[in-house]
Amino acid sequence: MPLVWSAVAAAAATGEVLVRAVGAGVSVEYGLVLLLLALAGTLAALLPATPAALIVAAAGLLSLALLHVLTAAAAVVLVVALVRVGAVWTVALAVPFVVLAVGWPSPVAVLVAAAAPAAGWAGVAWRADKEARVHRAARQAVATTLVEHTARGERTRIARELHDVVAHHISMIAVQAETARLTTPGLGTLGAQRFAEIGDRARAGLTEMRRLLGVLREDTDGADLQPQPGLAQLVDLLDDARQSAGARLIVTGAPVPLDPGVELAAYRIVQEALTNARRHAPGAAVDVELRYGTELRVRIRDNGPGPGNPAGHGLAGMRERAAAVGGTLRTGTTAVGGFLVEATLPVEEP
């Protein structure tokens, strides 16, 4: 209860005591006791809720029992104090007033006895509403944070897609440019064809970049977005790789339909592994093996030098992709040389 409000209540109680003392002609002792009880019943409201209710109720009870008087200000402060405490305390503090009202049925005692339980339940309802508002605000804050976190995660995922797609095309540009330079020093028909392919790759990379950056800018309404690739597109991916190095696809076991997320993860892992093989082991032959069973095992192995193979964002991205669909990924050099990327992904029908 604010200090100003309590001071006003104390001043009002003091004024009422003076008016009663002058009008009724009571003794000085009577007026002094009534004043002290009135001040205790108003100024005690500055204390925390429970001790304030105890002191205010005791002062009011003594004032009624001994002097048969309770100032209006003290009565208001008593009701407010009972609102501030819990239901148990309200009942405990209201019982003496009920007993007093039965033994000495004055209008003031009866009024206080009737108002005390109502004040307690009003306090319970007020606190429940306050807690409900706090909980609603907390839930709203959590929901807002979750939406922001989801948006950041989606942007991170799209950024990873940007890295995978653009890195693939750019690496192909580099490989084909090098091939054209070495095979067609006179820039004949074959050289022109190679440079045409370079232009196509550059345009494809820019198209993918614009699409993904458009998603990041949240301005892709109406854009012609292509579906995410899956294992069916591995043949095209390996056809591109064969233009610069040997690459073959090995499938064992009976292929089964997979969840689109698992297919996308497998495709991106193969794509990243091929890109890294071209970057760190140019010209090395690459085997891509899909082994179906109780789980899908994707193995990409090259016959390059092994050490110095992919690191950083590429490997981290592959591990995150495998983990995102409930799989695992391991990488390292093989016993016979070369680098191995092996992902184990769950096989569940979509």
pLDDT in tens, 265-301: 899 899 888 888 888 888 788 899 999 999 999 999 9
Helices (H), 44-188: 49-62, 72-84, 87-103, 107-183
Four-point Cα dihedral 100, 58, 70, 102, nearest 10:
-10
Residue 224 has a pLDDT of 45
* Burial class of 308 by CB neighbour count within 10 A (0 to 12, 13 to 18, 19+): exposed
Give the domain ranges of the chain. 3-129, 152-216, 231-346
More confident residue, 284 or 252: 252
Residue pair 112/64 in contact (Cβ under 8 Å)? The answer is: yes
347 has a pLDDT exceeding 50: yes
More confident residue, 191 or 86: 191
Lateral strand order in the sheet of 286-291:
247-252, 286-291, 295-302, 339-346, 328-333
pTM for this model (two decimals): 0.43
pLDDT in tens, 16-43: 667 666 666 666 677 677 777 777 777 7
Domain 231-346: which CATH class? Answer: alpha beta
Residue partners of 305: CB distance under 8 A and separation at least 6 = 281, 337, 338
